[in-house]
């Protein structure tokens, strides 16, 4: 037996951990991306709000100057714009400080960035570029992270005259913005770690819960391989494992029934063989001892027992070959009523005490083995002759109907009394089965005839069922399918 390198419980645990880790990581990255995008939009909006007074002063200056020649970092007008921007920034910084004092009232606040510790905002420079992109105020190296806002000139119909830029306006530079962003990242990471820990703690018992019924089924399988078919599993689940438990119980029942049938089959065969052998042995010993005369009558009796024993052995051999699929079937297209008529013709003398009714429809053709079909109807006819009460003055009845159906050909075989009990009908096709009232070894056969018939019918893709006949005896309904045949 091979050693399990990695139990299924561990595999399930690893799969659940990997799946949940991937999920948590995806959520973490998505939250980080969404937060950074939203926070950047917030920073940009705040920077644009601070530029609103600056843009207003810019538009007033354009109205006064009527041109853009004044736009220069050394001009008094541009310095006035810078003072306006710094005033707005300091006002925002003061408000932020008040909020900071309220937030960190009971703890030591964090150290602000170096520039803001001196009381000035982190972004203090303004730039300007024309519509064509020519940088008029500022140096190229300083405007890499600038936030640009279009400036309109209302007097000229709202025409855009250029763009005002804020140094590092698209970056998170404020002390509180930086602190808030860092706190959010730490919280996201902490939540991700907690989620992974909780996932691991839940996956361990969950994997055990999933594997437990599999281990139970494994123990049950070991019991079945050891020949113990008595232990059953209570199917308490309603999923695939519960269905597997039900199938395992059905398998155990089937194996137990097969074992019982095999034991009964062996016992019945032994009994059937022992009886004629015992009779033959007793008669021969009687002849040897001189107790029984060795005459024609006695020899004829021995011959009858040997014929009965030979027929039993031949039936057993044929049945075993049929079970193994070793019987050869040479199928050709035949008319089924013609096959039945030939069987009736061979028993014409024996049917003198019967009233035979034979009806058939046209085109009852079947792709079949003529020899096996003749054997089928010979066996059915032998059963009728053997078990139906028929006398010269009180004749028996035999009704045979062959009809073409939508899917194939149906044969209905009925005879007159005696019949069998309704509870015995399902057992008529069991091997070596005899009804107590109608069959015995002296007048009956081996009990294998109907079993052989059933095998022949099955080999021709047909079905057979037994019912109580309206004539007082037994009714057999045989249905052959065209499509499958």
Q: Are 298 and 338 within one domain?
A: no
| Residues counted in the chain | 485
Lowest mean per-residue pLDDT among 210-219, 393-402, 435-444 = 435-444
Q: Look at residue 441 in the predicted model and tell me its pLDDT.
A: 44
pLDDT over 80 (residue 453):
yes
Q: What percent of the chain has pLDDT over 90?
A: 6
- Beta pairing, strands 332-335 & 135-137: unpaired
Residue-number span of the structural domain to which 106 is assigned: 8-191
Answer with the one of 294, 324, 354 that is the final residue of a domain.
324
Q: Look at residue 263 in the predicted model and tell me its pLDDT.
A: 77
Q: Look at residue 116 in the predicted model and tell me its pLDDT.
A: 44
Beta-carbon-side half-sphere exposure of residue 484 (alpha carbons within 13 Å): 12
Q: Are 372 and 294 within one domain?
A: no
Q: Look at residue 235 in the predicted model and tell me its pLDDT.
A: 63
pLDDT over 50 (residue 144):
yes
Query: Is 206 part of any domain?
Result: no
pLDDT over 70 (residue 427):
yes
Of 120, 126, 124, residue with least CA distance to 143:
126
CATH number reported for the structural domain that contains residue 261 in this entry: 1.10.287.130
Lowest mean per-residue pLDDT among 9-18, 137-146, 323-332, 353-362 = 323-332
Query: Is 426 part of any domain?
Result: yes
Q: Are 309 and 378 within one domain?
A: no
Number of compact structural domains in the chain: 3
CATH number reported for the structural domain that contains residue 343 in this entry: 3.30.565.10
* Stretch (H or E) spanning 81: helix 76-103
Query: Is 38 part of any domain?
Result: yes
Average pLDDT over residues 317-334: 73
pLDDT bin (cut points 50, 70, 90) of residue 8 is confident
Query: Is 221 part of any domain?
Result: no
Question: In the structure encoding, which two tokens stand for residue 265, read together?
Answer: 């089959």
Answer with the one of 324, 353, 377 that is the final residue of a domain.
324
Query: Is 214 part of any domain?
Result: no
Q: Are 26 and 163 within one domain?
A: yes
pLDDT bin (cut points 50, 70, 90) of residue 484 is very low
DSSP codes joined into one string, 436-450: TTT--TTTS--S-HH
| 425 or 108, higher pLDDT | 425
Answer with the one of 324, 343, 370 that is the final residue of a domain.
324
Query: Is 212 part of any domain?
Result: no
Q: Look at residue 104 in the predicted model and tell me its pLDDT.
A: 46
pLDDT over 60 (residue 34):
yes
pLDDT in tens, 171-221: 555 555 667 777 888 888 888 888 888 888 888 888 888 788 788 878 888
pLDDT bin (cut points 50, 70, 90) of residue 30 is confident
Q: Are 295 and 420 within one domain?
A: no
Query: Is 304 part of any domain?
Result: yes
pLDDT bin (cut points 50, 70, 90) of residue 322 is low
pLDDT bin (cut points 50, 70, 90) of residue 358 is very high
Q: Look at residue 446 in the predicted model and tell me its pLDDT.
A: 59
Q: Are 320 and 343 within one domain?
A: no
pLDDT over 80 (residue 388):
yes
| 469 or 329, higher pLDDT | 469
Q: Are 309 and 446 within one domain?
A: no
Burial of 462 (0-12, 13-18, 19+ CB in 10 A): buried
Three-state DSSP at 155 gives helix
Q: Are 338 and 319 within one domain?
A: no
Q: Look at residue 99 in the predicted model and tell me its pLDDT.
A: 52
Q: Look at residue 435 in the predicted model and tell me its pLDDT.
A: 63
Sheet-wide strand order for 462-468: 354-360, 396-404, 408-416, 472-481, 462-468
Question: In the structure encoding, which two tokens stand for residue 168, read together?
Answer: 């590092």
Average pLDDT over residues 68-95: 77
- CB distance 452 to 472 below 8 Å: no
Q: Are 23 and 137 within one domain?
A: yes
Q: Are 309 and 377 within one domain?
A: no
Q: Look at residue 4 in the predicted model and tell me its pLDDT.
A: 54
pLDDT in tens, 217-260: 788 888 888 877 776 666 666 777 778 878 888 888 888 877 87
The neighbour count for residue 11, using CB atoms within 10 Å, is 12
Q: What is the mean pLDDT of the chain?
A: 78
| Residue showing tokens 């395992």 | 248
pLDDT over 90 (residue 284):
no
| 328 or 451, higher pLDDT | 451
Average pLDDT over residues 21-35: 85
pLDDT bin (cut points 50, 70, 90) of residue 434 is low
Q: Are 310 and 351 within one domain?
A: no
Query: Is 474 part of any domain?
Result: yes
Q: Are 27 and 110 within one domain?
A: yes
Average pLDDT over residues 418-431: 79
């Amino acid at each position: 037996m091979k050693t399990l390198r990695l139990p299924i419980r561990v595999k399930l645990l690893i799969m659940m951990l990997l799946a949940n880790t991937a999920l948590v990581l995806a959520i973490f990255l998505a939250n980080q991306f969404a937060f950074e995008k939203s926070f950047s939009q917030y920073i940009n909006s705040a920077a644009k709000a601070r530029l609103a007074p600056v843009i207003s002063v810019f538009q007033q200056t354009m109205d006064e100057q009527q041109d853009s020649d004044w736009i220069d970092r050394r001009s008094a007008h541009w310095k006035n714009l810078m003072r306006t921007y710094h005033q707005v920034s300091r006002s925002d910084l003061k408000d932020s400080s008040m909020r900071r004092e309220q937030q960190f009232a009971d703890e030591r606040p964090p150290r602000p960035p170096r520039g803001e510790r001196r009381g000035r905002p982190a972004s203090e420079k303004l730039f300007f570029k024309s519509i064509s992109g020519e940088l008029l105020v500022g140096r190229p190296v300083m405007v890499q992270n600038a936030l640009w806002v279009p400036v309109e000139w209302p007097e000229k119909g709202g025409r855009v005259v250029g763009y005002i830029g804020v140094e590092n306006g698209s970056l998170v530079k404020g002390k509180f913005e930086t602190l808030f962003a860092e706190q959010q990242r730490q919280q996201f990471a902490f939540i991700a770690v907690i989620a992974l820990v909780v996932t691991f703690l839940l996956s361990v018992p969950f994997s055990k819960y999933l594997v437990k019924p599999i281990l139970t089924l494994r123990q049950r399988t070991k019991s079945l391989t050891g020949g113990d078919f008595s232990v059953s599993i209570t199917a308490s689940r309603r999923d695939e494992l519960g269905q597997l438990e039900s199938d395992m119980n059905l398998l155990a029942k089937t194996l137990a029934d097969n074992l019982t049938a095999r034991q009964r089959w062996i016992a019945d065969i032994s009994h059937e063989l022992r009886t004629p052998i015992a009779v033959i042995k007793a008669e021969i010993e009687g002849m040897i001892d001189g107790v029984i005369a060795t005459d024609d009558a006695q020899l004829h009796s021995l011959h009858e027992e040997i014929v009965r024993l030979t027929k039993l052995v031949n039936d057993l051999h044929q049945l075993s070959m049929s079970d193994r699929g070793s019987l050869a079937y040479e199928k050709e297209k035949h008319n089924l009523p013609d096959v039945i008529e030939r069987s009736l013709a061979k028993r014409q003398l024996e049917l003198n005490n019967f009233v035979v009714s034979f009806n058939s429809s046209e085109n009852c053709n079947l792709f079949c083995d003529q020899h096996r079909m003749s054997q089928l109807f010979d066996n059915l006819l032998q059963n009728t002759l053997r078990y139906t009460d028929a006398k010269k003055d009180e004749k028996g009845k035999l009704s045979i109907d062959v009809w073409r159906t939508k899917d194939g050909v149906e044969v209905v075989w009925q005879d007159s009394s005696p019949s069998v009990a309704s509870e015995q009908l399902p057992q008529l096709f069991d091997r070596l089965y005899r009804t107590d009232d109608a069959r015995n070894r002296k007048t009956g056969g081996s009990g294998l005839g109907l079993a052989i018939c059933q095998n022949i019918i099955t080999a021709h893709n047909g079905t057979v069922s037994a019912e109580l006949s309206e004539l007082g005896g037994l009714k057999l309904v045989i249905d052959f399918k065209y499509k499958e045949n």
